[in-house]
Amino acid sequence: MTADLSSLDLNLLLVLDALLRERSVTRAGRRLGLAQSSTSHALARLRDALGDPLLVRSGRGMRLTPRAEALHGPLARLLGELSTLLSDGGAFSPETSGRRFVLSAPDLLAPLLPDLLRHLAARAPAVQLEVRGPLGPGLVEGLDQGVDLALATVAAGHDSLRMRGLSRLPWAVALRAGHPALEREWTVQTWTGWPHVEIRAGGAGPNLVAAALAAAGHERRVGLVLPTFLSAPLVVAGTDLMLNAPAPLLAPLVDRLGLVLRAPPLPLPDVPVAALWHPRLQADPGHQWFRAQVVAALEPQLAHPRPGGQG
């Protein structure tokens, strides 16, 4: 059945997009600057126009119906293309633009965000940045449905995406200042003689440090498993545990937390970091500007020298 567009207020599509993204009437209204009652009224009109409940109560939250799931991606693409079409020839003025850019990044890269925010604010004071978690297996779908740019630890590109390599990150071992291991010769035995913090994010692959140790006939002792990176340096700063992570991502935390960085006493493969985006945004002037700013802000931070083996 073909919908009669003349009977549908096209402003409702903006409400529908917000509802599909937020899966909450309250958050969708806040996103659009609407009162909750206005958003609820708009949802009722959408349900009537489309003949589908769209969002249904599930526990304390709301879930999308199959019809709403099917609308989510195409609607996001449509509104993005419409915004570009109706803009001033696609022109972009960072000094005056209030455009909102969406960046996907693992929390491993969170220490880089302050410099990125300062960089953007100095050049485009009204531009908004929304940071979301890693897209994981849904990388292609996420970049096709509203995420402008994804930062990820990937070495090879994807046929469906554009990619710009940013750096290859050397590893470091973080210890608290005054750790007893710092008084000893820095060897594999010293490194593995103390318990380590291991990060196990959802969907993570094999642990590179454990694999390198096993290949060399060694084994470390895991004293603590954490689901995110950011909490790990805090734990290390107050205990005798060690943390293995890319050196440039630990560097901003060294002085704040009183950490010392050592180069791993065993060779570890560098961690590749890249920026990825959907081809449909390749020629968009605003996106071109945003990509350039992310590269300009992050590349110097990612070019941190390798840590030494001595204190």
Report pLDDT digits (tens) over 123-179: 999 999 999 888 777 788 888 878 899 998 876 667 788 999 999 999 999 999 999
Question: CB-based contacts of 295: which residues, under 8 Å, 6+ apart?
Answer: 164, 166, 275
Locate 287 and state its tokens.
């996106």
| CA dist., res. 40 & res. 31, Å (int) | 14
Judge whether 311 lies within some domain: no
Q: What is the pLDDT of residues 201-249, one digit of tens each?
A: 754 555 888 888 899 999 999 999 998 888 999 999 999 999 999 999 8
For the purposes of burial, counting CB atoms within 10 Å of the CB of 57, is it exposed (0-12), middle (13-18) or buried (19 or more)? exposed
Question: Which residue's entry shows tokens 């708009």?
Answer: 42
DSSP state at residue 306: P
Buried b or exposed e, range 260-270, using 16+ CB within 10 angstroms:
bbbbbbbebeb
* Domain membership flag for residue 282: yes
Encoded tokens for 59: 């526990």
Residues 16 and 43 in one domain: yes
| Alpha carbon distances (Å) from 105 to 42, 47, 154, 276, 291 | 33, 34, 12, 11, 14
Q: How do beta strands 171-176 and 242-246 pair?
A: antiparallel
Cβ atoms of 273 and 109 within 8 Å: the answer is yes
What mean pLDDT do residues 91-98 have? 87
Considering the domain architecture, whether residues 281 and 192 belong to the same structural domain is answered as no
- Whether residues 265 and 278 share a domain: the answer is no
pLDDT, tens digit, 9 for 90 and up, residues 68-79: 999 888 888 777
CATH number, residue 137: 3.40.190.10
Distance CA 99, CA 130 (A): 11
Question: Do the domain assignments include residue 40?
Answer: yes
* Co-location of 145 and 286 in the same domain: yes
- Give the residue numbers spanning the domain of 64: 5-85
SS3 call for 272: strand
> How many independent structural domains does the chain possess?
3
**CB distance 116 to 294 below 8 Å:** yes
Say which residues have a Cβ less than 8 Å from residue 157's Cβ, sequence separation at least 6. 163, 274, 276
- Residues 113, 158, single domain; the answer is yes
User: Does some domain include residue 90?
Assistant: no
pLDDT the model gives residue 7? 60
Rounded to two decimals, what is the model's pTM?
Answer: 0.68
- The count of residues in the chain is 311
Residues 176 and 258 in one domain: yes
Q: What are phi and psi of 216, to 5 degrees?
A: -95, 5
